[in-house]
């Protein structure tokens, strides 16, 4: 088994042999009677209990070195997550792209395709089944996630509202780190009754509310024009006075320029006691040589920095669209049409780069075609990182008439394994039986 940020082996083995305790896991409470607030559905309590059931399957190495830094596990991810806990895994980043509950995606036990087949009006049951599938897996995912880590979940319109409430329960609303909007297509079908759907959501939660936050987006660009330069680099000029920070008499004082002229905060015409300096007297004296006196105003130098804070809208031009992800998979596999909705590699690379370090342990337990593995490998090659990936994919059969089946892929797991092998990186292939 690959090494993880882990507990001791004997502790892990002890936990593996016993039923997981609800006291060890963060199990959302199920309200009983009266007026309640929260996400409630039939079968919630039973779904949560699945997380505490004893793991009964044994890990078996199928190929690759047992000590490889990366792994693919072919199994139901509920079993795999319990096994990871027993192995002491601590993932720095969990990225998952679960079924969207549309009746069109590869699904766990085919539960959600019934919507299309039944043509039922009982939407509640469809949502309940999906939530019951997700709840125990998220409970176990939280246990696997490192205290400083993030979980990132891609989702479509059908379950986005329910998923956010569910993540609030499992991880805590105070751990909500952000909701990204990914523009998945440049154009959409113009046959919608309402708005043309061009986006999906990506929800992100920290394990702890004390998390330090996202890394800078090193490829981001700001609208600031750095049109000045000195020995320290390019910079823009920012007025030292401000009319919006709230007036303080102690920050309304004269600054004497090199020519002996006194400069005051520039008050709006006919008014006083509005503008003040952003710096106090001591800081002005300490950084006086950095001030720029120009056209009757005092400026500070805002030096150009590499990167910027990540933005919540992820445009398709930079991060790719659905067809980009499909093309990424086809180029890696050398076969066309084998997977309908893989995410673009550069989208996943961005999410990994802003949420973890260069040595991050990355877990994806809805691995699909294996995009996450490719993203990890490419990032490592770009920045000499030591990230590792650990994928889980259930051996769900491909459709008999599909391009995947015609290409020799009997299961979705076969697609995932083939893509990982194309990356030419050490990887262990396991099953749980």
**Cα→Cα distances 336→263, 404, 405, Å:** 68, 9, 12
pLDDT confidence of residue 225: 86
Q: What residues does each domain of the chain span? A: 9-20+46-219+311-432, 228-303
**Cα→Cα distances 92→110, 142, 352, Å:** 30, 11, 10
What 3-state DSSP class applies to 130?
Answer: helix
Tell whether the model's pLDDT for residue 15 goes beyond 90. Answer: no
Tell whether the model's pLDDT for residue 243 goes beyond 90. Answer: yes
Under a CB-based contact definition with an 8 Å cutoff, are residues 138 and 81 in contact?
A: no
pLDDT confidence of residue 228: 93
pLDDT confidence of residue 7: 35
Tell whether the model's pLDDT for residue 428 goes beyond 80. Answer: yes
Q: What is the mean pLDDT of residues 3-25?
A: 49
| pLDDT tens track for 99-136 | 987 655 434 443 444 544 544 445 667 789 999 999 99
Tell whether the model's pLDDT for residue 9 goes beyond 50. Answer: no
Degrees (nearest 5) of the Cα angle 80, 85, 91?
90
Q: What is the mean pLDDT of residues 254-273?
A: 95
**Least confident span in 220-234, 288-302, 387-401:** 220-234
Q: What is the mean pLDDT of residues 140-166?
A: 96
pLDDT confidence of residue 345: 98
* Domain 9-20+46-219+311-432 CATH superfamily: Vaccinia Virus protein VP39 (3.40.50.150)
| pLDDT tens track for 323-367 | 999 999 999 999 998 888 899 999 999 999 999 999 999 999 999
pLDDT confidence of residue 126: 78
What mean pLDDT is reported for the chain? 88
What does residue 199 show for φ and ψ, rounded to 5 degrees? -140, 165
The C-alpha atoms of residue 146 and residue 91 are separated, in whole angstroms, by 5
84 burial level (CB within 10 Å; 0-12, 13-18, 19+) = buried
Instruction: For CA atoms 59, 60, 65, 71, give the dihedral sign.
Output: negative
The C-alpha atoms of residue 414 and residue 407 are separated, in whole angstroms, by 11
**Cα→Cα distances 156→105, 283, 393, 427, Å:** 11, 50, 20, 31
**Least confident span in 6-10, 122-126, 147-151:** 6-10
pLDDT confidence of residue 12: 40
What confidence tier does 176 reach under pLDDT thresholds 50, 70, 90?
A: very high
pLDDT confidence of residue 284: 97
What confidence tier does 16 reach under pLDDT thresholds 50, 70, 90?
A: very low
What confidence tier does 378 reach under pLDDT thresholds 50, 70, 90?
A: very high
pLDDT confidence of residue 365: 98
Tell whether the model's pLDDT for residue 283 goes beyond 70. Answer: yes
The C-alpha atoms of residue 95 and residue 154 are separated, in whole angstroms, by 8
pTM of the full structure: 0.80
pLDDT confidence of residue 35: 64
Tell whether the model's pLDDT for residue 190 goes beyond 90. Answer: no
pLDDT confidence of residue 20: 65
pLDDT confidence of residue 137: 98
Q: What is the mean pLDDT of residues 370-376?
A: 98
| pLDDT tens track for 30-71 | 666 566 678 999 999 999 999 999 888 999 999 999 999 999
Q: What is the mean pLDDT of residues 368-381?
A: 97
pLDDT confidence of residue 298: 98
Under a CB-based contact definition with an 8 Å cutoff, are residues 406 and 398 in contact?
A: no
């Amino acid at each position: 088994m690959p090494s993880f940020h882990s507990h001791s082996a004997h502790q892990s083995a002890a936990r593996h042999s016993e039923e997981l305790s609800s006291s060890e896991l963060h199990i959302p409470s199920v309200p009983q009677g009266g007026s309640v607030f929260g996400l409630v559905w039939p079968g919630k309590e039973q779904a949560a209990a699945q997380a505490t059931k004893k793991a009964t399957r044994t890990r078996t190495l199928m190929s690759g070195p047992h000590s490889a830094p990366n792994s693919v596990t072919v199994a139901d991810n509920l079993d795999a997550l319990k096994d990871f806990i027993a192995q002491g895994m601590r993932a720095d980043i969990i990225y998952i792209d679960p079924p969207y509950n549309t009746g069109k995606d590869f699904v766990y036990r085919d539960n959600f395709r019934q919507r299309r087949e039944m043509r039922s009006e009982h939407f509640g049951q469809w949502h309940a089944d999906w939530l019951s599938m997700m709840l125990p897996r998220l409970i176990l995912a939280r246990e696997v996630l490192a205290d400083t880590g993030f979980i990132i979940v891609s989702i479509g319109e059908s379950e986005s509202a329910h998923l956010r409430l569910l993540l609030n329960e499992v991880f805590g609303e105070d751990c909500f780190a952000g909701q990204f909007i990914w523009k998945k297509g440049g154009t959409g079908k113009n046959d919608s009754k309402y708005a043309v759907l061009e986006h999906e959501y990506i929800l992100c939660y920290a394990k702890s509310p004390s998390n330090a936050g996202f890394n800078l987006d090193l490829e981001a660009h700001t609208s600031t024009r750095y049109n000045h330069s000195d020995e320290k680099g390019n910079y823009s000029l920012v007025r030292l006075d401000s009319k919006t920070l709230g007036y303080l008499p102690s920050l309304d004082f004269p600054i004497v320029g090199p020519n002996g002229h006194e400069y005051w905060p520039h008050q709006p015409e006919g008014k006083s006691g509005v503008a003040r300096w952003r710096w106090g007297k001591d800081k002005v004296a300490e950084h006086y040589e950095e001030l720029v006196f120009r056209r009757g105003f005092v400026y500070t130098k805002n030096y150009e920095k590499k990167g910027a804070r990540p933005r919540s809208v992820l445009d398709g031009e930079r991060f790719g669209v659905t067809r980009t992800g499909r093309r990424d998979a086809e180029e890696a596999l050398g076969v066309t049409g084998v997977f309908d909705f893989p995410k673009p590699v550069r989208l996943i690379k961005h999410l990994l780069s802003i949420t973890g370090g260069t040595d991050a342990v990355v877990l994806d337990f809805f691995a699909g075609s294996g995009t996450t593995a490719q993203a990890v490998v490419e990032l490592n090659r770009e920045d000499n990182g030591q990230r590792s990936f650990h994928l889980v994919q259930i051996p769900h059969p491909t459709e008999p008439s599909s391009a995947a089946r015609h290409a020799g892929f009997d299961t979705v797991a076969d697609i995932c394994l083939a893509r990982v092998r194309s990356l030419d990186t050490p990887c262990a292939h396991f099953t749980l039986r």
